[in-house]
Amino acid sequence: MAPRTTKQFEEIRTERRAQILDAALHVFAEEGYHTASVSKIAKRASISKGLMYNYFTSKEELLKTIVLEIFEEVMEGMDMKPGEVLTKEKFIHTVHFGIDIAVNNPHRWKLYVSLTFQPDVMPVIMAEMMPHIQPYMKSLSEYFGKKNYDDPIAMMRIYSAMVDGIQMHCILDPENFPVQKAKQLIIDQFA
Amino acid sequence: MAPRTTKQFEEIRTERRAQILDAALHVFAEEGYHTASVSKIAKRASISKGLMYNYFTSKEELLKTIVLEIFEEVMEGMDMKPGEVLTKEKFIHTVHFGIDIAVNNPHRWKLYVSLTFQPDVMPVIMAEMMPHIQPYMKSLSEYFGKKNYDDPIAMMRIYSAMVDGIQMHCILDPENFPVQKAKQLIIDQFA
Amino acid sequence: MAPRTTKQFEEIRTERRAQILDAALHVFAEEGYHTASVSKIAKRASISKGLMYNYFTSKEELLKTIVLEIFEEVMEGMDMKPGEVLTKEKFIHTVHFGIDIAVNNPHRWKLYVSLTFQPDVMPVIMAEMMPHIQPYMKSLSEYFGKKNYDDPIAMMRIYSAMVDGIQMHCILDPENFPVQKAKQLIIDQFA
Amino acid sequence: MAPRTTKQFEEIRTERRAQILDAALHVFAEEGYHTASVSKIAKRASISKGLMYNYFTSKEELLKTIVLEIFEEVMEGMDMKPGEVLTKEKFIHTVHFGIDIAVNNPHRWKLYVSLTFQPDVMPVIMAEMMPHIQPYMKSLSEYFGKKNYDDPIAMMRIYSAMVDGIQMHCILDPENFPVQKAKQLIIDQFA
DNA sequence: GATGAATGAGCATTCATTCAT
DNA sequence: TATGAATGAATGCTCATTCAT
Residues C157-191 have pLDDT tens digits of 999 999 999 999 999 899 999 999 999 999 999 98
Distance CA C1 to C1' F7 in A: 37
Distance CA B17 to C1' E3 in A: 18
Q: What is the per-residue pLDDT for B8?
A: 80
Q: What is the per-residue pLDDT for B4?
A: 63
Q: Using CA atoms, how far apart are residues C157 and D50, in angstroms rounded to an integer? A: 46
Q: Which residue of A has its CA nearest to B161?
A: A165
Can you give the length of chain A in residues? Answer: 191
D36-D39-D44-D49 Cα dihedral, nearest 10 degrees: 140
Percentage of chain A with pLDDT > 70? Answer: 98
Q: What is the per-residue pLDDT for B83?
A: 80
Question: Which amino acid is present at C38?
Answer: V
Cβ separation of D163 and C165 shorter than 8 Å?
yes
Q: What is the per-residue pLDDT for C102?
A: 93
Q: Phi and psi dihedrals of B171, rounded to 5? A: -70, -45
Which chains neighbour A (Cβ–Cβ under 8 Å, 3 or more pairs)? Answer: B
Residue B1 pLDDT class (50, 70, 90 cuts): very low
Distance CA D36 to C1' E11 in A: 21
Asked if residue B161 keeps its beta carbon closer than 7 A to nucleic acid strand E, the reply is no
Q: What is the pLDDT of residues D45-100, one digit of tens each?
A: 999 999 999 999 999 999 999 999 988 988 898 888 888 889 999 999 999 999 99
DSSP string covering C19-49, please?
HHHHHHHHHHHHH-TTT--HHHHHHHTTS-H
Cβ separation of D176 and C162 shorter than 8 Å?
no
Q: What is the mean pLDDT of chain C?
A: 90
Provide, as residue numbers in chain B, all residues whose Cβ is less than 8 Å from the Cβ of A34: 32, 34-35
pTM, two decimal places:
0.90
How many C-beta neighbours within 10 Å does residue D59 have? 18
Percentage of chain B with pLDDT > 70? Answer: 96
Asked if residue A1 keeps its beta carbon closer than 7 A to nucleic acid strand F, the reply is yes
Q: What is the per-residue pLDDT for A45?
A: 97
**Contact criterion met (CB below 8 Å) for B101 and B77:** yes
Q: What is the per-residue pLDDT for A124?
A: 72
Provide, as residue numbers in chain A, all residues whose Cβ is less than 8 Å from the Cβ of B164: 165, 168-169
Q: What is the mean pLDDT of chain D?
A: 91
pLDDT at A178 over 50: yes
Nearest-CA residue relative to C1' of F18: B50
**Contact criterion met (CB below 8 Å) for A42 and A51:** yes
pLDDT at B34 over 80: yes
Indicate the burial class of C18 (C-beta count within 10 angstroms; 0-12, 13-18, 19 or more).
exposed
Distance from CA of D18 to the nearest CA of C (A): 24
Q: What is the per-residue pLDDT for C78?
A: 86
Q: What is the pLDDT of residues D119-163, one digit of tens each?
A: 777 777 777 788 888 889 999 999 999 998 999 999 999 999 999
Collect contacts of C138-144 with beta carbons under 8 A, ≥24 apart.
C138/C83, C139/C80, C139/C83, C139/C84, C139/C85, C139/C86, C140/C86, C142/C85, C142/C86, C143/C85, C143/C86, C143/C91, C144/C190
Q: What is the pLDDT of residues D86-119, one digit of tens each?
A: 999 999 999 999 999 999 999 888 888 888 887 7
Asked if residue D147 keeps its beta carbon closer than 7 A to nucleic acid strand E, the reply is no
Q: What is the pLDDT of residues B55-74, one digit of tens each?
A: 999 999 999 999 999 888 88
Crossing angle for the helix pair C179-190 and C88-104, nearest 10 degrees? 150
pLDDT at C139 over 70: yes
Q: Which residue of B has its CA nearest to A157?
A: B177
Collect contacts of B36-44 with beta carbons under 8 A, ≥24 apart.
none
Q: What is the per-residue pLDDT for C154?
A: 97
Q: What is the per-residue pLDDT for A126?
A: 79
Cβ separation of C34 and D34 shorter than 8 Å?
yes
Top pLDDT among D33 and D127 is at: D33
* Residue numbers in B 15-54, CB below 7 Å of strand F: 35-39, 49-50, 53
Q: What is the pLDDT of residues A30-74, one digit of tens each?
A: 898 999 999 999 999 999 999 999 999 999 999 999 999 988 988
pLDDT at C2 over 70: no
DSSP type of residue D58: S
Provide, as residue numbers in chain A, all residues whose Cβ is less than 8 Å from the Cβ of B114: 114, 117-118
pLDDT at D1 over 70: no
Q: What is the pLDDT of residues B93-105, one digit of tens each?
A: 999 999 999 999 8
Q: Which of B114, B158, B189 shows the shortest C-beta gap to A114?
A: B114
**Contact criterion met (CB below 8 Å) for C128 and C63:** no
Cβ separation of B176 and A158 shorter than 8 Å?
no
- Least Cα distance to D127 among D67, D66, D81, D168 occurs for D67
Distance CA A47 to C1' F5 in A: 11
Asked if residue A58 keeps its beta carbon closer than 7 A to nucleic acid strand F, the reply is no
Q: Using CA atoms, how far apart are residues C67 and C79, in angstroms rounded to an integer? A: 19
Q: Which residue of D has its CA nearest to C120?
A: D31
Sequence-distant (≥ 6) Cβ neighbours of residue A87 within 8 angstroms: none
Residue C85 pLDDT class (50, 70, 90 cuts): confident
Q: Using CA atoms, how far apart are residues A133 and A112, in angstroms rounded to an integer? A: 15
DSSP string covering D112-181, please?
HHHHHT-TTTSHHHHHHHHHHHHHHHHHHHHHHHHTT-S-HHHHHHHHHHHHHHHHHHHHH-TTT--HHH
pLDDT at B2 over 70: no
Q: Using CA atoms, how far apart are residues D125 and D119, in angstroms rounded to an integer? A: 11
Closest nucleotide to the alpha carbon of D1, via C1': F21
Distance from CA of A143 to the nearest CA of B (A): 18
Q: Using CA atoms, how far apart are residues A97 and A78, in angstroms rounded to an integer? A: 7
